[in-house]
Chain A
Amino acid sequence: MSGVRVLVGTRKGAFVLTSDGTRERWDVNGPHFGGWEIYHLKGSPADPNRLYASQSSSWFGQVIQRSNDGGKTWQTAGNKLTYEGVPGTHLWYDGTPRPWEFARVWHLEPSLTDPDTVYAGIQDAALFRSVDGAQTWQELPGLRGHKSAPLWQPGAGGLCLHTIVLDPSHPGRIFIAISAAGVFRSDDAGTTWQPMNRGLRSEQIPDPTAEVGHCVHRIAMHRSRPGVLFMQKHWDVMRSDDAGESWREISGNLPTDFGFPIDVHAHEPDTIYVVPIKSDSEHYVPDAKLRVYRSRTGGNEWEALTNGLPQRDCYVNVLRDAMAVDSLDPCGVYFGTTGGQVYASANAGDRWAPIVRDLPSVVSVEVQTLP
């Protein structure tokens, strides 16, 4: 029988949650790397037993961990992520130049085809790649070499490259997103990059329609339709039908269009999920109710999914990497909260139940569907 493995990164360690295909009873294994911040862990699509994890702390810096047995055991991998050449400067919050400085790995994206190839999105924003199972890392310097890079400014969480989307139909096409620069696309495996922010409007920057400077929170794609992208921006939920060349707003009837995660149903490329929160200054769900919003029409028309979720006295947030879907039928949807709950729905969001309620604050959730 097929199974599901949910990989949860928290402020104080990693947890591996497993179930069979019914997704009714769960084993909770962890914490791995207890006491460390685990911004992200993710499995290789080419070898589900190969996992990568970003482990960091303010005291002891960045560690990369690798597992070859689905998270039962881990080995430290290479953690030398050094910018190519002279790093130069970006802009600080006050608009003054500030040298690029490594802080942490926000996101690890394994290759779709090679378990030993993995991409790392880091703060201060840059993209790295390893082709030897994370033993050594090389920056793809064309991104930070883009002419706009000296003008990139951090969002509240830092100047972070937090989203990496690999296009399964166009080898060499990579989308990344940076807060607060925006979306960039490479069509040559990361050598050169172009901003993909036309149609975005951000009132928080001097020119609301500038080519770069937008605080994109996350982008998502369905494998069967890689030309269509969905975006949760600082404010606004957006959609592109031309691989990022242009964007249009699909916030529709959402109660607020501020939020962090966005994801796509595994089998219905026009079914998408977001978790709106109240505002940029109040990072918790509106009306004290935890509601996932689902659109079955590719945006604009949204329904609140509440069955099994707390509908009073709730003040959690769901961070940008903390939602994922499995590929079973019906599609499973998962998300983790800053309050330490991980919720699962085995029926595309119609009904939810907590897998676990009292973890440390959840930073990331990834799902592997196992044979």
Chain B
Amino acid sequence: MIRVVLPAHLRTLAHVDGEVKLDVEGQVTQRAVLDALEACYPMLRGTIRDQVTQQRRAFVRFFGCEQDLSHEPPDAPLPEAVATGAEPLLVVGAMAGG
């Protein structure tokens, strides 16, 4: 079970409270987690990564285990603690006011 924490705007869009829990088959990577997330919550398609290029949106970051994972390759394994559900994967909107 993978745990994902979404930013407030995306929780509202997906109609969820708190963490999202996902089953991910095979190796746990950014791509696999986002594929599972978008399959469960299709309204999130295009809000975290581009629907065609699959590139992470510029103002969105991925944190986990107190590391910035945003620039890791999408098919690289996520940290063990994220893969086992001990720690969540944080999807974060870049800090800004307004």
What separation, in Å, do the CA atoms of A96 and B65 have in the docked complex?
A: 44
Across the interface, do A60 and B47 meet the contact criterion of CB distance under 8 Å? yes
State whether A82 and B52 are in contact (beta carbons under 8 Å apart), knowing that A35-B9, A63-B47 are contacts in the complex. yes
Interface residues of B in 41-98 (CB under 8 A from A): 42-43, 45-48, 51-52, 57, 59-60, 93-94
State whether A60 and B51 are in contact (beta carbons under 8 Å apart), knowing that A35-B9, A79-B46, A80-B46 are contacts in the complex. no
| Nearest B-chain residue to A57, judged by Cβ | B9
Which residues from B are CB-within-8-Å of A59?
7, 9, 57, 59-60, 93-94
Interface residues of A in 38-90 (CB under 8 A from B): 57-63, 76, 79-80, 82
Is A230's beta carbon under 8 Å from chain B?
no
Is B10's beta carbon under 8 Å from chain A?
yes
Which residues from A are CB-within-8-Å of B10?
60
Which residues from B are CB-within-8-Å of A34?
12
| Nearest A-chain residue to B60, judged by Cβ | A59
| Nearest B-chain residue to A60, judged by Cβ | B47
Which residues from B are CB-within-8-Å of A247?
none
Which residues from B are CB-within-8-Å of A36?
9
Which residues from A are CB-within-8-Å of B40?
none
In the assembled complex, how far is the CB of residue A30 from the closest CB belonging to chain B, in whole angstroms?
14
User: Chain B 1-43 against A: per-residue CB contact (8 Å), 1 yes, 0 no?
Assistant: 0000001111011000000000000000000000000000011
Which residues from B are CB-within-8-Å of A61?
46-47, 57
Q: How many residues of A contact B (CB 8 A)?
A: 14
Interface of A is mostly: loop
Which residues from A are CB-within-8-Å of B8?
35
What separation, in Å, do the CA atoms of A53 and B77 have in the docked complex?
A: 38
In the assembled complex, how far is the CB of residue A77 from the closest CB belonging to chain B, in whole angstroms?
9
Across the interface, do A76 and B43 meet the contact criterion of CB distance under 8 Å? yes
Which residues from A are CB-within-8-Å of B13?
60, 63, 76
What separation, in Å, do the CA atoms of A79 and B44 have in the docked complex?
A: 10
**Of residues B47, B48, B57, B59, which shows the largest number of chain A Cβ atoms within 10 Å of its Cβ?**
B47
In the assembled complex, how far is the CB of residue B84 from the closest CB belonging to chain A, in whole angstroms?
28
Across the interface, do A79 and B59 meet the contact criterion of CB distance under 8 Å? no
In the assembled complex, how far is the CB of residue B53 from the closest CB belonging to chain A, in whole angstroms?
10
State whether A79 and B45 are in contact (beta carbons under 8 Å apart), knowing that A59-B57, A60-B57 are contacts in the complex. yes
What separation, in Å, do the CA atoms of A36 and B93 have in the docked complex?
A: 13
In the assembled complex, how far is the CB of residue A286 from the closest CB belonging to chain B, in whole angstroms?
29
Across the interface, do B46 and A62 meet the contact criterion of CB distance under 8 Å? yes
State whether A58 and B43 are in contact (beta carbons under 8 Å apart), knowing that A63-B13, A76-B13 are contacts in the complex. no
State whether A60 and B60 are in contact (beta carbons under 8 Å apart), knowing that A36-B9, A82-B52 are contacts in the complex. yes
What separation, in Å, do the CA atoms of A79 and B42 have in the docked complex?
A: 10
**Of residues A60, A80, A82, which shows the largest number of chain B Cβ atoms within 10 Å of its Cβ?**
A60
Beyond known contacts A59-B60, A63-B13, A82-B52: 8 more, CB 8 A cutoff: A35-B8, A59-B7, A60-B9, A60-B57, A63-B46, A76-B42, A80-B45, A80-B46
Q: Which 10 A-B pairs have the closest CB atoms?
A: A76-B43, A60-B47, A59-B59, A59-B93, A79-B46, A80-B51, A61-B46, A61-B47, A82-B52, A58-B59
Binding site for A on B (CB under 8 A): 7-10, 12-13, 42-43, 45-48, 51-52, 57, 59-60, 93-94
Can you offer 26 A-B residue contacts whose CB atoms are under 8 A?
A35-B9, A36-B9, A58-B59, A59-B59, A59-B60, A59-B93, A59-B94, A60-B7, A60-B9, A60-B10, A60-B47, A60-B48, A60-B57, A60-B60, A60-B93, A61-B47, A61-B57, A62-B46, A63-B13, A63-B43, A63-B46, A79-B45, A79-B46, A80-B45, A80-B52, A82-B52
